[in-house]
Each structure stands twice: as structure tokens, then as C-alpha cells.
Amino acid sequence: MARILLSTFGSSGDLNPFLAVGLGLRARGHEVTFAVERNFQQPVNVLGFPVALLTGDAETTLMHRADRTLEQSNLPRNLAGTRQPIRPQPSRQLPAPRSRLSRKPRKPLSTVPFDAT
């Protein structure tokens, strides 16, 4: 069978689908290895997969990039320039749902005759 290397980074939400794929491939007889960062090593090892460690820290890199993007956006300036406080809207009373029995019958969408013969 095939030797397959799976790799991902991010959070456990990114890892879990790859673990499921790895389990499925292993059940079909393939040899699966994961190339992941140190923070993913333990959950991969628990399932019995060999791990090839990647260097770096993608989570820190992604957070740094998100912070930099936020700094470059004009969102904080827009929020600071808001002078009116946000007030909750009064809740509206929605009408009670009608029973299906109280509905008027609808006209058929098509009036084309149908011949089953």
C-alpha cells in the first residue's frame, strides 16, 4: 500500500479532519505519517501515528499577522469616532404562529392535465 504524509497547522479544528482522514487511510492499509508542529504531536501520537516535527510556530505567526492586519485597518479609528452610544432596540412582539389547519387552500401551481397512460 501507499506511504502517505499528512500535514496541517492552525488549531485543533484544523487538525481533527486530518486525523479522521489518517484513520481512514490506515484502516485501508496505508502507512500514514503526520508532519506537524510540537503542539499537535500529543494528539497524533495518542492515535498511534508516527510524527515528523515541523519547526516554527504557526499559531504565533498567524496571531502576529492578524494583529498587524488589525493595526493597518481603520476599524479602531472608526470605533473611536463613534459619538452616539449603542442603545438596545425595544423588542417587538411577534404574532402567534397560525395553525396549518387555519390556512386557506392554495391554487395548484400548474393546470396542465396529466395523463399517466
Number of compact structural domains in the chain: 1
| Residue 19 belongs to some domain of the structure | yes
Q: What is the mean pLDDT of each run of 10 residues along the chain (117 residues)?
A: 90 89 95 92 95 83 73 60 58 65 64 61
Find residue 4's DSSP bridge partners. Answer: 32
| Residue 103 belongs to some domain of the structure | no
| Residue 116 belongs to some domain of the structure | no
**Helix extents (H) in the chain:** 12-27, 38-46, 58-72, 75-80
| Residue 91 belongs to some domain of the structure | no
pLDDT tens for 23-50 read: 999 999 999 999 998 888 999 999 999 9
| Residue 30 belongs to some domain of the structure | yes
| Residue 61 belongs to some domain of the structure | yes
| Residue 110 belongs to some domain of the structure | no
C-alpha cell at 82: 463613534
Domain that holds residue 40: 3-72
